[in-house]
Chains A and B, each alone.
Chain A
Amino acid sequence: MAMTEVTIDSPAKVAWRRFRQHRIAMVALAVLGVIVILCAFAPFFSGYDPLGLNMAAIRQPPSADHWLGTDTLGRDIWTRTLYGGRVSLVIGLAAAFLSTIIGIVLGVISGYFGKWADMVVMRITDVVMAFPPIIIMLTVAAFTGPGLVNVIFIIGGLRWPPTARLVRGQILQLRDQDFVTAARTLGLTNAIIITRHMLPHVVAPLVANITFAVSLAILTEAGLSFLGLGVPLPTPTWGNMMEAARDLRIMREEPWMWIPPAIFTLTTVLCINFVGDGLRDAFDPQQLIGEK
């Protein structure tokens, strides 16, 4: 029997091919790559110590020595922006990771097991969502005190409800699919049915959700730090560098102190959102069907 060799790409491969056609998302991914490299390898791009004070060079505008100027304590702004990016990005990723894990676990419990488990989880979700997040964060931060780990836990611990709802909805739909019923008649354990048969189907809608969670976490960190409840000084983050703008004189007359972290934050969040858009389109099953 003559057979033509047909290769079928895995869903991930198809998604990547489609993602590459999304021009804005590709540009955003490149910009994001540059920012991540700059921050991750900050020592290669700057000769200064981010914490090194220099009283002889305070409040200096951008110059050949200090590309983006110095702050009120004579620290190099460019250097602090790069090192601050490390902290902001770590917080963004870690908090999004944490909220995604919590969201998946709770979403699965409530969607798969239903009944009272669903009741309990969804009521907790409602309660968490009912409070304005910034108020809770301020309250919690006031009790736990500022600090990197605390910020991650505060953001991660409060941003999971949308993820939990998304996962719950997906699991509810999947639970009635024939292949899940079939898996049950084959005597597979709940753990295997959930992890092997259901969660792979949740990945696509979740991927976009995760990227948005990262950008939201970065913004939230900036907000908390701006209010002095995030990562404490002198460790730089984009948020606490922007805190300088609370001084009206600095805001007006020495904008080099707050504009760089602001631009980095804006660019990063925008790029992550564009990438998220691209991923969402790439994984969209409706469009996958239409493709040859």
Chain B
Amino acid sequence: MAAQLLLSVDGLTTSFGRGPDKVRAVADMSFDLAEGEVLAIVGESGSGKSVTMRSIMGIIPMPPGVIESGTAFFDGADLLAIDEENLRRLRGKDIAMVFQDAMTSLNPVLTVGRQITEVLEEHLGMTGKAARDRAISLLDEVGIPDAAHRIDEYPHQFSGGMRQRAMIALAIACGPRLLIADEPTTALDVTIQAQIIDLVVGLQTSHDMGIVWISHDLGVVARIAQKVIVMYAGRVVERATVEDLFDAPAHPYTIGLLASLPRLDQEPGEHLDSIPGQPPNASSLPPGCAFAPRCPLATETCRVEVPPVITVGDGHHAACHRLDEVRRREGRLPWT
């Protein structure tokens, strides 16, 4: 696997507000993405997965947001340091983003076709009929029936799934090498979800894009990703290949997440193991491991010291003081 590195993020820290109200949304986030690779970032709401990718895209509202430190190299350029104009040229052309809610992410007063052609115009200099034809073939490619007619419709005339397809068409219009998908299936029905996932997987293969897929749904992640990063309270807790993560999760939080998934081989009536407690408030994080208050294995060290990232195996890392204990118990934790 000697694929070229596409995106390399190192030490990204993003916070909101200042002074005593400062909230650190992402702390010391690092990851690499190879060309054509699919990485999933998993975590619950507020874990910093969206903020990470929005920081890289330069769409964190500033103020109140501040990118305190870190680099994000794409194609030899640090996305966190280059000027607005150069970043603009990359966005939409080499890096594109698909959002959760296609209804609000498409402009209601412009036809779907216009929104696609303006991107083609901006980055590829296509105009008039050439741009229109390209837009129709893009809509066709993402599976919108009767694209030649629907191109002149407004977003509100599209169904939820169709809108998400239109957004994907918009994102891949200029053949990006990196696609950031921010929970693109969360707002959709399960059946439509599956279609959108299949569509993106298909496009990923045919266009050879690297994808960062943000999700809180491990089921979705298993279907699409090769590598997974699990985030908790703004920090990476575990980083692994999909196989390793599901077969041999190392961090207690990941183990808890997997245990809380419903399984088909479960006896009816058997209850799901949920992680007790609530995710911490980002403005008052515990001094040590953020997961310590909910962790059955937590010790005094966990409560006062931020755990280091420890290599568990090849490409498998976890940030936990108690990895030995997890291993001794073979991943079975006493949740009660």
Interface residues of A (CB under 8 A from B): 6, 8, 11, 176-179, 181-189, 192, 196-197, 200-201
Separation in Å of the B108 CB from the closest CB of chain A?
Answer: 7
Question: Is B177's beta carbon under 8 Å from chain A?
Answer: no
User: Is B122 within 8 A of A192, CB to CB?
Assistant: yes
Which residues of the partner chain B approach A176 to less than 8 Å between Cβ atoms?
A: 61
Separation in Å of the B184 CB from the closest CB of chain A?
Answer: 12
User: Is A192 within 8 A of B106, CB to CB?
Assistant: no
Chain B, residue nearest A183 (CB): B107
19 pairs of residues in contact across A and B, judged by CB atoms under 8 Å? A176-B61, A177-B104, A178-B104, A178-B105, A179-B108, A182-B167, A184-B58, A184-B91, A185-B92, A185-B96, A185-B97, A187-B90, A187-B91, A187-B92, A189-B88, A192-B118, A192-B122, A197-B110, A201-B109
Q: Which of B59-79 contact A (CB under 8 A)?
A: 59, 61
Separation in Å of the A38 CB from the closest CB of chain B?
Answer: 38
Contacts A179-B108, A200-B109 hold; do A187 and B93 have CB atoms under 8 A apart?
Answer: yes
User: Is A11 within 8 A of B109, CB to CB?
Assistant: yes
User: Is A188 within 8 A of B118, CB to CB?
Assistant: yes
Which residues of the partner chain B approach A11 to less than 8 Å between Cβ atoms?
A: 109
User: Is A179 within 8 A of B122, CB to CB?
Assistant: no
User: Is A189 within 8 A of B122, CB to CB?
Assistant: yes
In the assembly, what is the distance between CA of A227 and CA of B88, in Å? 55
Separation in Å of the A187 CB from the closest CB of chain B?
Answer: 3
Separation in Å of the A130 CB from the closest CB of chain B?
Answer: 27
Chain B, residue nearest A186 (CB): B92
User: Is A196 within 8 A of B118, CB to CB?
Assistant: yes
Interface residues as binary, B100-115 with A (CB distance below 8 Å gives 1, 0 otherwise): 0100111111100000
Which residues of the partner chain A approach B106 to less than 8 Å between Cβ atoms?
A: 179, 182
Which residues of the partner chain A approach B16 to less than 8 Å between Cβ atoms?
A: none
Question: Is B138's beta carbon under 8 Å from chain A?
Answer: no
Question: Is B253's beta carbon under 8 Å from chain A?
Answer: no
Interface residues of B (CB under 8 A from A): 57-59, 61, 88-93, 96-97, 99, 101, 104-110, 118-119, 122-123, 153-154, 156-157, 167, 170-171
Which residues of the partner chain B approach A192 to less than 8 Å between Cβ atoms?
A: 118, 122
User: Is A179 within 8 A of B97, CB to CB?
Assistant: no
User: Is A196 within 8 A of B119, CB to CB?
Assistant: no
Chain B, residue nearest A184 (CB): B59
In the assembly, what is the distance between CA of A187 and CA of B170, in Å? 12
User: Is A179 within 8 A of B119, CB to CB?
Assistant: no
In the assembly, what is the distance between CA of A197 and CA of B115, in Å? 10
Contacts A187-B88, A187-B92 hold; do A182 and B97 have CB atoms under 8 A apart?
Answer: yes
User: Is A186 within 8 A of B105, CB to CB?
Assistant: no
Apart from A183-B107, A197-B107, 20 more pairs, CB < 8 Å: A11-B109, A177-B104, A178-B105, A182-B97, A182-B99, A182-B106, A184-B58, A184-B88, A185-B96, A185-B97, A186-B91, A187-B88, A187-B89, A187-B122, A188-B88, A188-B122, A189-B88, A196-B118, A200-B109, A201-B109
In the assembly, what is the distance between CA of A184 and CA of B57, in Å? 9
Which residues of the partner chain B approach A182 to less than 8 Å between Cβ atoms?
A: 97, 99, 105-106, 167
User: Is A186 within 8 A of B96, CB to CB?
Assistant: yes
User: Is B105 within 8 A of A179, CB to CB?
Assistant: yes
Separation in Å of the B137 CB from the closest CB of chain A?
Answer: 18
User: Is B118 within 8 A of A185, CB to CB?
Assistant: no
5 tightest Cβ-Cβ pairs between the two chains A and B: A187-B92, A186-B92, A187-B91, A178-B104, A185-B97
Of B89, B90, B101, B110, which is within 8 A of A178 by CB? B101
In the assembly, what is the distance between CA of A196 and CA of B90, in Å? 21
Which residues of the partner chain B approach A200 to less than 8 Å between Cβ atoms?
A: 109
User: Is B118 within 8 A of A187, CB to CB?
Assistant: no
Separation in Å of the A83 CB from the closest CB of chain B?
Answer: 42
Chain A, residue nearest B170 (CB): A186
Chain A, residue nearest B104 (CB): A178
Chain B, residue nearest A182 (CB): B105
Chain B, residue nearest A198 (CB): B107
Chain A, residue nearest B93 (CB): A187
Of B89, B107, B123, which is within 8 A of A179 by CB? B107
In the assembly, what is the distance between CA of A121 and CA of B296, in Å? 57
Which residues of the partner chain A approach B105 to less than 8 Å between Cβ atoms?
A: 178-179, 181-182
Separation in Å of the B222 CB from the closest CB of chain A?
Answer: 27
User: Is B119 within 8 A of A188, CB to CB?
Assistant: yes
Which residues of the partner chain A approach B167 to less than 8 Å between Cβ atoms?
A: 182
Separation in Å of the B63 CB from the closest CB of chain A?
Answer: 8
Chain B, residue nearest A179 (CB): B107
Separation in Å of the B50 CB from the closest CB of chain A?
Answer: 12
Which residues of the partner chain B approach A189 to less than 8 Å between Cβ atoms?
A: 88, 122
Which residues of the partner chain A approach B118 to less than 8 Å between Cβ atoms?
A: 188, 192, 196
Which residues of the partner chain A approach B107 to less than 8 Å between Cβ atoms?
A: 179, 183, 197
